[in-house]
Amino acid sequence: MKVEIIEKMKNIVGVDWVVTELSRMQSYLSDETEHLLKPKANEDCIVVKPSSAQEISGIMKYANQEKIPVVPRGGGTGLCGAAIPTHSSIVMSLERLNQYVELDDKNLMVTVDSGFTLAQLNEELNKQKNLFFPIHPGDEGAQIGGMVAENAGGVSAVKHGIMRNHVKGLEVVLPTGEIVNFGGKLIKDNMGYDMLHMMIGSEGTLGIITKVILKLYAKENHRGTLLISFDTGEDAAAVVPKILQRGITPLAMEYMERYVVEKAAEHLGLTWPAKKGSVDLMFILEETTEDELYAKSEIIVEMCEKHHAVDSMIAETAKEQRNILEIRSNAYTAFKEEIADALDMAVAPASVPDLVRDINTIAKKYNTISPVVGHIGDGNTHNFIMLVNGEKPSYLDEMRQEMYEAAIKYGGTVTAEHGTGKTRKKHMNLQFSDREIEIMKGIKKAFDPNGILNPGTIID
Amino acid sequence: MKVEIIEKMKNIVGVDWVVTELSRMQSYLSDETEHLLKPKANEDCIVVKPSSAQEISGIMKYANQEKIPVVPRGGGTGLCGAAIPTHSSIVMSLERLNQYVELDDKNLMVTVDSGFTLAQLNEELNKQKNLFFPIHPGDEGAQIGGMVAENAGGVSAVKHGIMRNHVKGLEVVLPTGEIVNFGGKLIKDNMGYDMLHMMIGSEGTLGIITKVILKLYAKENHRGTLLISFDTGEDAAAVVPKILQRGITPLAMEYMERYVVEKAAEHLGLTWPAKKGSVDLMFILEETTEDELYAKSEIIVEMCEKHHAVDSMIAETAKEQRNILEIRSNAYTAFKEEIADALDMAVAPASVPDLVRDINTIAKKYNTISPVVGHIGDGNTHNFIMLVNGEKPSYLDEMRQEMYEAAIKYGGTVTAEHGTGKTRKKHMNLQFSDREIEIMKGIKKAFDPNGILNPGTIID
């Protein structure tokens, strides 16, 4: 990296906040993407840690003028390589934008700096008793700005949707350096094109998010977990719409192949409580009153029994609930050392059994297995392509392609919540025509005429 | 309009579906925008009525090649002149794209052609007992495609949000003629930039919507209406967040100045039931069970009484409920003949009393009144600028500008739900910087390189 760039950065953010030694930079050149797929970082980078939108504006004006790539970086919890610099870049860590700006309980909204983490947000919100923020991807180290940039999802989407549904306002530094505000403390806003929604999920390619206004909701304090077993995936899937049509919206509805959760339980030294059947549905309910919780739990159990459930249990104690959830959460971890790729497809919820059947057929063809866990309420499956004797399988690309084509066949998407980033960009033509990709390039150019912001992510 | 254009259109859609006589075209050259503000239609137009996306694709390819403006048109219920052609144009009415394509009760989604009206959708959904679609702007003649293009709102946004929250997939003909699909039956989709959300609210400037996939919800059959009176707007506004924080989310929360609803009642030959106080809050609740409805109604009344309510009534019978709602719905109609402009600003819900105070102060300065009704739960006020002796007031532009500046001062927006269109476009610089408007122009150009689709709307 050129000396004048380093000097300029030190001028803007202060000498203490510029990292140039590779050894101290390593953790900023990676994210949580699977090892085999992770893009190789360009090591000719510097890490800068601005403390304000004004400093970021200064950096962007300079970078735009000199055409230097800038890669913004949140908590580094991403799964598509979006935060990994593949060009010689200024890596901009947002960790110092870390203020809890304002809790506005009159409007049920909270304003935080983009570098505030989900863990910090939840800690602050727990200090008052009324309000909570519903989105929870796996890792609480995620920064709120990163969660906006990736349009984070998670298990609670059945009831609460995704990040997009709860972001009301953003402060953004444009690639050309201007500081702007999109949206606000507004429930309705139809002026001009919707720049707020354009930013959500744009993965740090259209602007650098510096402040976020989020909608909050009244806490629902009564939580229950149901575990219901079926002989087949079709039986399990069939009951899901019946429950929703009945007006019951669980926080989460998870679909789990038995051998996957049994292995996850073993990994944790626990025992999976269900024995009968081969597929489990886990329902998490969160309700305002205990009466509502019990009434809805009973209805779900009854409906499942009518729909060929072979076993059902209500996790009564907090410990039982925690164990089940922990096992489910460790489905990935238990297999991690054996995984070449973890896919993130989605289809219409009712098509999940079809997709799972296709996944199993494809795996069999390659003489392997592909364990599946799924957020069935939102049609989002995570299935794994396994290593072969600890090595990358020769058929990895081919097999993945076949699985993506299966999702597309059912009107699905290659990535439901993990994002396009640098790893799934090459599959965009499965889902979009050339003209659509050309339009996306035009959108990118409108925001970032010199193509300096996070190059290689989504759009080249 | 040139003969060869007319001939080409007849070739594509058939002679019966091209209107060239001005007398038969008049209703296609207008919408519901206030008379004084309505853009003057260019009468050198033809109206074409295609029956399919394929025909629309043919029209767009030709129009794009020949650089002929095309103005897509839904139900004509818009309030910002977006559907009025101000250039010599092909006016494309979508009335023949009128199929109820599919009710998918397994995924709780419905697919309709864009020209299907809200009235038709509700009629179809009423034939089955489980599912409903929650968005309801005033006029059921609105077409679903138009509701997407305008990102329709309405009174039920407190509970159900706006159109954007419920649109899952779109079939769109691009300005360059390609037929594409954005989104699908997907709850989560993070591939590429979000083209689906870019289309929502783009007012027929980025593409022509031909099919819409909407999310449906389990019906909540128990509806109740509360009317609670306060001495001041501040008292009324203060209770709103308390109710939401308690975990009660009414379908609607309406704020009404007494003299406005009294006049609306008189206009209908009815009597407004509340006498004490000067401001009313109307709550509409929609719940799954009668018990829930009663329990929540009681809590609301109690909370209002604690917050200085001076009177409260629960509308017990369907007739009482209907009367109150009808009076509220006629606030605009009652004043219609005296209105120069009906504004559509929004601020944070808690700032509504501040905005109302400013509106009254500004009106007083011009020696007039400005009646206000508001969707207080979502911070959206509708206030009127009155005619003076039936004539346009000389101060109209000045007074409107001051009111918009008041909304902006509180972090608000010029238009919450009625849209930018051709009438509010000139106020975009109140809310956006030059650079932001330049980016919007770039987005428009990416979709529509020749600027043929609905020129003069949002972006020049």
Q: Does B245 touch chain A (CB under 8 A)?
A: yes
Return residues 22-61 of B near A (CB < 8 Å).
none
Residue B26, number of CB atoms within 10 A of its CB: 11
Return residues 167-186 of B near A (CB < 8 Å).
174, 176, 178, 180, 184-186
Per-residue pLDDT for chain B (460 aa), expressed as one digit of tens each?
A: 999 999 999 999 999 999 999 999 999 999 999 999 999 999 999 999 999 999 999 999 999 999 999 999 999 999 999 999 999 999 999 999 999 999 999 999 999 999 999 999 999 999 998 999 999 988 999 999 999 999 999 888 899 999 999 999 999 999 999 999 999 999 999 999 999 999 999 999 999 999 999 999 999 889 999 999 999 998 999 999 999 999 999 999 999 999 999 999 999 999 999 999 999 999 999 998 899 999 999 999 999 999 999 999 999 788 999 999 999 988 888 998 899 999 999 999 999 999 999 999 999 999 999 999 889 999 999 999 999 999 999 999 999 999 999 999 999 999 999 999 999 999 999 999 999 999 999 999 999 999 999 999 999 8
- Smallest CA–CA distance, residue A186 to chain B, in Å, is 5
- Is residue B118 within 8 A of residue B220, CB to CB? The reply is no
Instruction: Name every residue whose Cβ is closer than 8 Å to that of residue A128 and which is 6 or more positions away in sequence.
Output: A103, A105
Q: What is the pLDDT of residues A142-200, one digit of tens each?
A: 999 999 999 999 888 899 999 999 999 999 999 999 999 999 999 999 999 999 999 99
The CATH number that domain A332-420 falls under is 3.30.70.2740
- Smallest CA–CA distance, residue A2 to chain B, in Å, is 30
pLDDT for res B190 = 98
Per-residue pLDDT for chain A (460 aa), expressed as one digit of tens each?
A: 999 999 999 999 999 999 999 999 999 999 999 999 999 999 999 999 999 999 999 999 999 999 999 999 999 999 999 999 999 999 999 999 999 999 999 999 999 999 999 999 999 999 998 999 999 988 999 999 999 999 999 888 899 999 999 999 999 999 999 999 999 999 999 999 999 999 999 999 999 999 999 999 999 889 999 999 999 998 999 999 999 999 999 999 999 999 999 999 999 999 999 999 999 999 999 998 899 999 999 999 999 999 999 999 999 788 999 999 999 988 888 998 899 999 999 999 999 999 999 999 999 999 999 999 889 999 999 999 999 999 999 999 999 999 999 999 999 999 999 999 999 999 999 999 999 999 999 999 999 999 999 999 999 8
Q: Does B288 touch chain A (CB under 8 A)?
A: yes
**Which tokens belong to B351?**
């700032």
Chain B positions in Cβ-Cβ contact with residue A445 (cut-off 8 Å): 442, 446
Chain A positions in Cβ-Cβ contact with residue B447 (cut-off 8 Å): 439, 442
Q: How far apart are CA B213 and CA B187, in angstroms?
A: 12
**Which tokens belong to B352?**
């509504």
Contact A446 B442 (CB under 8 A): yes
pLDDT for res A329 = 87
Q: How far apart are CA A116 and CA A97, in angstroms?
A: 7
pLDDT for res B333 = 87
- Backbone phi, psi, residue B48, to 5°: -120, 150
pLDDT for res B327 = 94
The third-level CATH classification (topology) of the domain covering B100-218 is 3.30.465
DSSP state string for A367-423: T----EEEEGGGTEEEEEEEPBTTB--TTHHHHHHHHHHHHHHTT-BSBSSS--TTT
- Backbone phi, psi, residue B150, to 5°: -100, 0
Q: How far apart are CA A412 and CA A407, in angstroms?
A: 5
DSSP state string for B426-437: GGHHHHS-HHHH
The third-level CATH classification (topology) of the domain covering B222-329 is Alpha-Beta Plaits (3.30.70)
Q: Where are the domains of chain B?
A: 3-93, 100-218, 222-329, 334-431
Residue among A442, A405, A433 nearest B173 (CA): A433
* A447 closest CB neighbour out of B109, B350, B439: B439
Q: How far apart are CA B161 and CA B194, in angstroms?
A: 19
pLDDT for res B156 = 86
A256: β partners: A280, A373
Residue among A155, A134, A140 nearest A220 (CA): A134
- Of all residues in chain A, the one with the smallest CA distance to B246 is A218
pLDDT for res A138 = 81
The CATH number that domain B334-431 falls under is 3.30.70.2740
Q: How many CA within 13 A on the CB side of residue A251?
A: 23
Instruction: Name every residue whose Cβ is closer than 8 Å to that of residue B84 and which is 6 or more positions away in sequence.
Output: B29, B30, B31, B33, B38, B39, B41, B71, B422
- Smallest CA–CA distance, residue A82 to chain B, in Å, is 12
- Smallest CA–CA distance, residue B419 to chain A, in Å, is 5
- Smallest CA–CA distance, residue B364 to chain A, in Å, is 27
Mutate to test the interface with A, among B439, B448, B453 (most CBs of A within 10 A): B439
Q: What angle do CA A51, A54, A58 make, to 5 degrees?
A: 105
Q: Which helix (H) or strand (E) holds A161?
A: none
**Which tokens belong to A272?**
């999976």
DSSP state string for A89-140: -EEEE-TT---EEEEETTTTEEEEETT-BHHHHHHHHHTSSSEE---B-S-T
pLDDT for res B308 = 97
Two domains, one topology: B3-93 and B334-431: no
- Is residue A376 within 8 A of residue A281, CB to CB? The reply is yes
Q: How far apart are CA B349 and CA A104, in angstroms?
A: 11
Q: Are strands B208-215 and B167-173 parallel, antiparallel or unpaired?
A: antiparallel
Distances (CA, A) of B246 to A202, A221, B96, B242: 35, 12, 47, 6
Q: Does B98 touch chain A (CB under 8 A)?
A: no
Residue A435, number of CB atoms within 10 A of its CB: 14
pLDDT for res A333 = 87
Q: How far apart are CA B58 and CA B13, in angstroms?
A: 9
* A245 closest CB neighbour out of B108, B198, B433: B108
* B190 closest CB neighbour out of A106, A165, A420: A420
In this prediction the ipTM stands at 0.97
Contact B193 A174 (CB under 8 A): no
The CATH number that domain B3-93 falls under is 3.30.43.10
